[in-house]
Amino acid sequence: MDKIKLGIIGLGNMGTVHAKNILMGKCPLISLVAIADTNPERIQWAKENLSADIALYDDADKMLDSGKVNAVIVSVPHYDHPKYAIKCFERNINVMVEKPAGVYTKQVREMNEYAKKTNAVFAMMFNQRTDHIYRKMRELVQGGTLGKIRRTNWIITNWYRSQSYYDSGAWRATWSGEGGGVLLNQCPHNLDLWQWICGMPIKVQAHLHYGKWHNIEVEDDVTTYVEYENGATGVFITTTGDAPGTNRFEITLDKGKLVAENGKLYLWELEMTENEFSAMKHSNVFASPKKSFMEVETDGKSEQHVGVLNTFAEHILNGTPLIAGGEEGINGLTLSNAMHLSSFLNKEITIPFDEELYYDELMKRVKTSRRKENIESMVSDTSGSYNA
Amino acid sequence: MDKIKLGIIGLGNMGTVHAKNILMGKCPLISLVAIADTNPERIQWAKENLSADIALYDDADKMLDSGKVNAVIVSVPHYDHPKYAIKCFERNINVMVEKPAGVYTKQVREMNEYAKKTNAVFAMMFNQRTDHIYRKMRELVQGGTLGKIRRTNWIITNWYRSQSYYDSGAWRATWSGEGGGVLLNQCPHNLDLWQWICGMPIKVQAHLHYGKWHNIEVEDDVTTYVEYENGATGVFITTTGDAPGTNRFEITLDKGKLVAENGKLYLWELEMTENEFSAMKHSNVFASPKKSFMEVETDGKSEQHVGVLNTFAEHILNGTPLIAGGEEGINGLTLSNAMHLSSFLNKEITIPFDEELYYDELMKRVKTSRRKENIESMVSDTSGSYNA
């Protein structure tokens, strides 16, 4: 069977996870043939710990120009995601970009424009889209039998991080290193899923708190209110400071309610839409619509990173649909940027917002950003940190 | 045994509930001796359906001056709560006021000032304070062993009302009749409990939607963000449009988390505060504090309206503490008024706010308020509508 010839740009936390998964045989359609990292320590580590068959480069351009790879995973710091994706597009090399798509939508829009001009496959590592619960929620919401969305509410506060986490990398949780905090590092999955399942809102009012629970310069506590085009409202709450946190996602629709919590999905379905019920004359003025309740069965499969990589390979080889097209990465980032902009300007933001203004506001913060000192850089075992 | 001699002003929904409870023998320390209502139909109903021993009046003043009563329940439309309470204070008659304390804090502040100048007992009908879950939550939060509050989140959307409900009274859900919608009619209990358990916030940003789910002029959909003096944040979401709704109250503290849902109370308690844990050096940077989990046992008692009335009588006779002092009614109303003001002015409101401004803004809306026409006024069976 043909395999794709994969290179990894960036052997940090996630690049290492992907390399190990492939070398453990979890991706039968992928040969890991090359790795590029500018950090000599990581190249040394690869030499000592990975297969001798893998070509190692201290520079991504050399790898991309080597002719050895026809597909690449970009797993470098967030700011550089678009830069390396564009390098791949210019060489017609298929590319999987780690989340977030980038740090500000202006650069991601540019990446998406480049992607249109190439035949290369462009994919995003939104592994949580493989989760059986979120897939089922999307199917039920987008299927339409429950009617239109009225209210969305995601309390996703189980991204706990101690100060030690933030002290483990000079770039972590800095404006210059990550371009934000919990919204840029931990929440891209949730922001993507939120819009993937419920659609994009058109108004955003966010309350961000910077360094509230940790000694960091970026946000670690967020409460956001949104409105959708049809008048529905939503709330998104996240933090890295709560222990134990909560992951509860509730969606109310005209004809029912969904709640995902503790790895279960619950559905209340009405006999008729609330609108129809309310329009009828009721002699008991406290009457409410009849409903059924069930725990929703799913297929139980959540293939996560490996599933996304395998589908990427199958798409390149056989045309199987991707889990997440690369051009969709801008949606979650639009939400994240809108929340930051709402906080920076202390006002409600309408989507689409002024992307140049966002860039300027972000760069103001980058200019005065302080990389942390006396940090012992480490690559961490991220097992169990994905918060599925 | 001595009994208090009680009069009821207003034989509408709640006045009727109280009268029936007392006549059914549920309040051994209370004699219902008089009722006043300006509506001849209600007086006629009382004649036909209640005990012949009860003196009936078409005017509250006559009842208050009769010398027959030494305690009164005020269960008239919201706007008139302070007026009748003050009439009682002027006569040194003990008074239990139905919720809300009034419609705007300016009038409630005046009521509270009058209360200070009298020896009459002043109490509020906050029957949900007797709920075993909320009592336990307050005990755990105020007890202090869980540390300071960090985040409060109440999704209280199970106040469903159909259009028939709103069409059942010309005054219902009008600025002139109720002075607001779900915040004034359904939520006074929740707003009181929220501040009773968690304390008062100092900043309020609210998103209200008026007549969103019903043909009414006041709000029937509310999402509010608040901040507390210690920096904690909170969210309060309510509506009469969701079916089925949710009642989930989560409180996160330095040393644990409480969740009240489906008549149960759950507690996660940390080994040490999150602050202490985060300050330690952790070689596993994804480490989080150890915790225990339990369903909290309560005494299971929720005596509701009858419990509040009996305690009112015991307080008058024996000095037993009240469930809710009358002067506390202003707290929940302050939250409600702040939410309205935030929506009217489309900005964040700091508490204390300008009460004159609120009054002016409310009166603008009262002036153009339209009582509904062709309404057949009805007194409804409210059983099961209290949303405990």
If 0-12 CB within 10 Å is exposed, 13-18 middle and 19+ buried, where does residue B366 land? middle
Q: How far is B272 from chain A (nearest CA, A)?
A: 11
Structure tokens at B180: 């607001």
3 state DSSP class of B270:
strand
Residue A374 has pLDDT above 50, yes or no: yes
Question: Is residue A348 within 8 Å of residue A203, measured between CB atoms?
Answer: yes
Best of B212, B226, B288, B343 to disrupt the A interface by mutation (most A CBs within 10 Å)?
B288
Could you say which of B162, B225, B274 has the minimum Cβ distance to residue A223? Answer: B225
pLDDT of residue B371: 75
Query: Quick check: pTM over 0.90?
Result: yes
Question: Is residue A12 within 8 Å of residue A324, measured between CB atoms?
Answer: no
* H-only helix segments in B91-219: 105-116, 132-143, 163-166, 182-185, 188-198
Which tens digits make up the pLDDT trace of A202-251? 999 999 999 999 999 999 999 999 999 999 999 999 999 999 999 999 99
pLDDT of residue B380: 60
Q: How far is B212 from chain A (nearest CA, A)?
A: 9
Rounded CA gap, A263 and A15, in Å?
27
Could you say which of A213, A274, A284 has the minimum Cβ distance to residue B241? Answer: A274
Which tens digits make up the pLDDT trace of B105-133? 999 999 999 999 999 999 999 999 999 99
pLDDT band at B137 (very low <50, low <70, confident <90, very high): very high
Task: Decide if B250 and A252 are in contact by the 8 Å CB cutoff.
Answer: no
Task: Decide if A207 and B225 are in contact by the 8 Å CB cutoff.
Answer: yes
Question: Which residues does chain B have within 8 Å of residue A227's beta carbon, measured at their own beta carbons?
Answer: 207
Chains A and B: how many Cβ contacts under 8 Å? 154
Average pLDDT of span B258-284: 97
Rounded CA gap, A296 and B281, in Å?
42
The single-letter code of the amino acid at B210 is Y
Task: Decide if B162 and A244 are in contact by the 8 Å CB cutoff.
Answer: no
Question: Which residues does chain A have within 8 Å of residue B349's beta carbon, measured at their own beta carbons?
Answer: none
Tell me what ipTM this predicted complex has: 0.94
pLDDT of residue A118: 96
pLDDT of residue B370: 84
Which tens digits make up the pLDDT trace of A23-57? 999 999 999 999 999 999 999 999 999 989 999 99
Question: Which residues does chain A have within 8 Å of residue B278's beta carbon, measured at their own beta carbons?
Answer: 162-164, 213-214
Which tens digits make up the pLDDT trace of B287-333? 999 999 999 999 999 999 999 999 999 999 999 999 999 999 999 99
If 0-12 CB within 10 Å is exposed, 13-18 middle and 19+ buried, where does residue B127 land? buried
Task: Decide if A268 and B244 are in contact by the 8 Å CB cutoff.
Answer: yes
